[in-house]
Structure 1
Amino acid sequence: MSSFNQWDIVSGVGVTALGVAAARALETHRSGALVTDPYASAFVEAADAPVPLPSHPRDLDSQAWKGDTVWMSMATYVAVRSRFFDDFFARATADGIGQAVLLAAGLDTRAFRLDWPAGCRLFEVDQPRVLEFKDTVLGEQQAQARCDRRAVAVDLRDDWAAALHDAGFDTTRPTAWLAEGLLPYLPADAENNLFATIHRLSAPGSRIAVEHVDTQSLGMFDEEEMTQAGQQMGVDISTLLHNEDKEHPERVLTGLGWTARSDTAQQTARRYGRELDGTMGRNGGKLEYITASR
């Protein structure tokens, strides 16, 4: 598990976070963008990635990506996913929740691009080197957080609850939690511990949103497509994923006493006027966004 324990933005899981930033950059420059991230391109350009990554649709006309449809397909999926979770936070804060936690925050820029109510506190939990890179780039961009942003540099398999508390997390306040692009990289026991810890830290009225990927049944994880995706980002994705049998997050949360629901990525895309294509289109019914309240 060293690939998860020790990584920066250009190694292991960090490369996938950089790839998501590239997808957000591509979406940002599209007409009718579902998500606008003014800092995504800066992350891509500042990183010394193992292979070149696009940061603008015009890049896809270059020889390196000519005829490549994978990136735009991924950009559409990332746009739909990001918008869904943006809306989750908008609803939560509109209903009075003033504390939020991004688990494995990566290069997430919601603290800087979303409108947060006055006094809202946002915790970003991730690896120290990832947060260091992120803060350096955002500093160079003179980005200003729109909330009380607090970076929590800790590995999620260490005592991240204690680190969160030390950063000012208040267990008496309802919290909006997000686990986006995280669960497929956790073994079953770590995932169970994650949900148990979230439940323990959550005051009544808290909410959670997670992305669920059924790695055991998804065609997107066939060997050929896995290899192609890895070549796009310069990392062997198969070494990062955990394909063991896991209990569905909706059942886990329901069992803990939360009220949960699930939306497929394909259903969500169509609500936003988009259609998932390529690999994401074939598997959009198996990619799910689970939201729950306590």
Structure 2
Amino acid sequence: MSEELPPVGKTAVGVAGLRALESGRPDRLFEDPYAGAFFHAGRAIFDGKERDSRLGMVFAQQVAIRTRFFDDFVSGGTQTVLLAAGLDARAFRLDWPDGARVFEVDLPDVLAFKEAVLAEQGARPKCERTAVPVDLRDNWSAALKNAGFDPGQPTVWLAEGLLIYLSRDEAERLLTAVTELSAPGSRISFEHRPDGERDGLLDHARNVGGEVTSLWLGGLAGDAPEWLAEHGWRPETVTVAELAVQYGREPLDSTRGGFVTATR
């Protein structure tokens, strides 16, 4: 089953493995009871690929902090869209308000893999969950609206681990579509690296090597807050180092990056 995942989808298996590691810590920043099942179902992808395994450990703390931060960001949303939802199980593991709707947008093969594993686990969502199988480089906004998304309602948008796999043009098209679908009061968040391609964490990862780094196209580089401000959003940023201190972890010294959040 894992062999059918597209290259970008395969990275989601590695991230699930890192979430499983964090979930097993006594001082864990979050608990994901399904992460281990996702990784076990897809781990054949990494058999014999030592570089990919080492690459994963480069991002272990980044993923732990990112997951906790984004968990807190989407908490309480009544209409939430997870762009490139991957193998995270927020619809199943977070507490959602009554009537909350979560739309998970990702490639058909990724969502099919995810559904199969969740079914084996007998997982039940804690909100109204809708999977939207579509390539985000295609007309995903039409597919989202056809699935029941209400553009007149404020939306929480999350693009976790996504933009780096898009070219600048693709990232701008994606965020332009998000903006057009966002009623006043909508919020969005994704990774922000002010140093762009020169980010220390990314350089470390490239030195380790592996299939994942060859897929990186850069997204908005270091210009995300400026782009959002120019398109009617009010952006704020926070660094991984700042969050590490807040969460009781050793701060990463290899990056000035973190996350951008913005309100429409």
TM-score by length of 1: 0.82
Q: Partner of 1:186 in structure 2?
A: 166
TM-aligned CA distance change 1:273 to 1:101, over 3 Å: same
TM-aligned CA distance change 1:81 to 1:9, over 3 Å: farther
TM-aligned CA distance change 1:243 to 1:201, over 3 Å: closer
Q: Quick one: which of 231, 239, 260 aligns to 1:264? A: 239
Q: Partner of 1:81 in structure 2?
A: 66
Contact 1:24 1:37 in 2 (8 A): yes
Q: Partner of 1:149 in structure 2?
A: 129
Shift of 1:47: 1.5
Q: Quick one: which of 13, 20, 24 aligns to 1:25? A: 20
Deviates further, 111-120 or 14-23: 14-23
Count residues in correspondence: 260
TM-aligned CA distance change 1:70 to 1:165, over 3 Å: closer
Q: Partner of 1:40 in structure 2?
A: 35
Mapping for residues 37-186 of structure 1, pairs under 5 Å: 37-47=32-42, 49-52=44-47, 71-72=56-57, 74-90=59-75, 93=76, 97-186=77-166
The one-letter amino acid of 1:210's match is: F
Q: For structure 1, which runs of at least 5 residues remain unmatched after alignment?
A: 1-6, 54-63, 231-235
- Calculate percent identity across the aligned residue pairs: 47
TM-score by length of 2: 0.91
In the alignment, structure 1 residue 204 sits paired with structure 2 residue 184: yes
Rounded Cα–Cα distance in structure 2 between residues aligned with 1:83 and 1:199:
25
Contact 1:176 1:207 in 2 (8 A): yes
Rounded Cα–Cα distance in structure 1 between residues aligned with 2:221 and 2:12:
23
Shift of 1:77: 1.7
Shift of 1:102: 0.3
Q: Quick one: which of 254, 258, 261 aligns to 1:283? A: 254
Q: Partner of 1:216 in structure 2?
A: 197
